[in-house]
Amino acid sequence: MYDLILPYLPIFIFLLGACVGSFLNVCIYRIPEERSLMGPRSHCRCGKPITWYDNIPLISWFILRGKARCCKKPFPFRYFVVEALTGVLFLLCWVLLSPVHAWVGMVFMAILIASTFIDLDHMIIPDRFTIGGMVLGVVLSGMFPAMHLDTLSGVFLLDSVHAVLVSLLGAFVGSGMILWLALITEAVLNKDAMGFGDVKLMGAIGAFCGWQGSFFALFGGACCGTLIIATVMLGQALGLRLSMKAIKETPRKKTKDVSDNLEWGSSVPFGPWLALGAALYWLFFRVETLQFLSSIEVVFTQ
Ligand SMILES: [Zn+2]
């Protein structure tokens, strides 16, 4: 029976991701406005409720060609992007990682995606993702010590306590590192460089990834961010009309004025880059980073 299902499991995992992505869209849209996730049901922008068959992740978007059935107003492409992205990340977790890292990874990816898009829209990251993520990271570490430990002792309680300590250290180092970075940048630039939401997000990243992972997320994320922003700005300078509209949905209630065009000195949310760094670490660089850092340790102790 299992042999029959096995070849289709990746498809199932991708679809699971798309459904979770669909729910994340609701979270991203409603949580910053402090509306309930349970009800009312999803409505079109014209006010009509959306039927279940027009609300199937990914598929409905294709069938309706991105336009609402009722009033033909275009759906934000962003909804499709979030569903597809969640599906792809879930699939990558499944294909690349051990079972524990795959399942925990899916939870972690969901937190990162929600944080990213809320930060893009509102320049805030709600506590239920940052502090909630931190608590969840510690709890999951206690339940699945293999998250942090390569070799288990065999005594569950011992491993569990060990993993929780690793997770707590990660949360502490992660948030501490970015706090210092923010303080230094503020002193140098003489303006607010980072929000406290980023500090708390780094706490969550550390709780899931350990201190090595939060190190990678911060510096890897900052490098990716600098590269991508520099490319976009270069493109704008060359006259390309690049805009963040594809990934950003204009919120009905803007908390801060966030321009679609990037300019020098304009505030760019930092959370998405941290999330990108964390996702890259979890999916591709965990083993490599651990080996690299332990090789440094060997050099120093010799
Ligand atoms: Zn409508």
Tell how far the Cα of 49 is from the centroid of ligand 1, in angstroms.
Answer: 8
Tell how far the Cα of 73 is from the centroid of ligand 1, in angstroms.
Answer: 6
Which residues have C-beta within 8 Å of that of residue 70, sequence separation ≥ 6? 44, 46, 48
Tell how far the Cα of 28 is from the centroid of ligand 1, in angstroms.
Answer: 20
Lowest mean pLDDT among 30-34, 116-120, 141-145, 211-215: 30-34
Tell how far the Cα of 200 is from the centroid of ligand 1, in angstroms.
Answer: 38
Tell how far the Cα of 126 is from the centroid of ligand 1, in angstroms.
Answer: 29
Tell how far the Cα of 48 is from the centroid of ligand 1, in angstroms.
Answer: 6
pLDDT at 66: 82
Q: State how far the Cα of 134 lies from the Cα of 292, in Å rounded to an integer.
A: 25
Confidence at 256, pLDDT banded by 50, 70, 90: very low
Q: State how far the Cα of 99 lies from the Cα of 93, in Å rounded to an integer.
A: 9
Tell how far the Cα of 46 is from the centroid of ligand 1, in angstroms.
Answer: 4
Tokens of 79: 């909804």
DSSP string of the chain, one letter each residue: -HHHHGGGHHHHHHHHHHHHHHHHHHHHHHGGGT--SSSS--B-TTSPBPPGGG--TTHHHHHTTTB-TTT-PBPPHHHHHHHHHHHHHHHHHHHHS-HHHHHHHHHHHHHHHHHHHHHHHHS---HHHHHHHHHHHHHHHHH-GGGT-SS--S-HHHHHHHHHHHHHHHHHHHHHHHHHHHHHHHHHHSS----HHHHHHHHHHHHHHHHHHHHHHHHHHHHHHHHHHHHHHHHHHTT----GGGT----SS-SS---SS--TT----SHHHHHHHHHHIIIIIHHHHHHHHHHHHHHHH-
Tell how far the Cα of 53 is from the centroid of ligand 1, in angstroms.
Answer: 15
pLDDT at 52: 84
Is there a contact between 125 and 200 (Cβ–Cβ < 8 Å)?
A: yes
Tell how far the Cα of 151 is from the centroid of ligand 1, in angstroms.
Answer: 55
Is there a contact between 25 and 82 (Cβ–Cβ < 8 Å)?
A: yes
Lowest mean pLDDT among 54-63, 197-206, 214-223, 263-272: 263-272
Q: Is the pLDDT of residue 172 over 60?
A: yes
Q: State how far the Cα of 5 lies from the Cα of 179, in Å rounded to an integer.
A: 47
Tell how far the Cα of 47 is from the centroid of ligand 1, in angstroms.
Answer: 6
Q: Is the pLDDT of residue 274 over 80?
A: yes
Tell how far the Cα of 43 is from the centroid of ligand 1, in angstroms.
Answer: 8
CA geometry: angle 152, 206, 154, nearest 5 deg: 10
Tell how far the Cα of 16 is from the centroid of ligand 1, in angstroms.
Answer: 27
Q: What is the pLDDT of residues 1-14, one digit of tens each?
A: 778 887 889 999 99
Q: Which of 148, 116, 270, 274 is nearest to 205 (CA)?
A: 274
Q: Is the pTM of this model over 0.95?
A: no
Tell how far the Cα of 52 is from the centroid of ligand 1, in angstroms.
Answer: 14
Is there a contact between 126 and 30 (Cβ–Cβ < 8 Å)?
A: no
Q: Is the pLDDT of residue 60 over 60?
A: yes
pLDDT at 251: 45
Tell how far the Cα of 64 is from the centroid of ligand 1, in angstroms.
Answer: 12
Tell how far the Cα of 9 is from the centroid of ligand 1, in angstroms.
Answer: 35
Tell how far the Cα of 68 is from the centroid of ligand 1, in angstroms.
Answer: 5
Tell how far the Cα of 74 is from the centroid of ligand 1, in angstroms.
Answer: 9
Q: Is the pLDDT of residue 181 over 80?
A: yes
Q: What is the pLDDT of residues 230-246, one digit of tens each?
A: 888 888 777 766 555 55
Which residues have C-beta within 8 Å of that of residue 180, sequence separation ≥ 6? none
Tell how far the Cα of 54 is from the centroid of ligand 1, in angstroms.
Answer: 11
Tell how far the Cα of 41 is from the centroid of ligand 1, in angstroms.
Answer: 14
Is there a contact between 287 and 148 (Cβ–Cβ < 8 Å)?
A: no
pLDDT at 93: 94
What mean pLDDT is predicted for residues 131-158? 94
Tell how far the Cα of 72 is from the centroid of ligand 1, in angstroms.
Answer: 6
| Maximum CA extent, the chain | 71
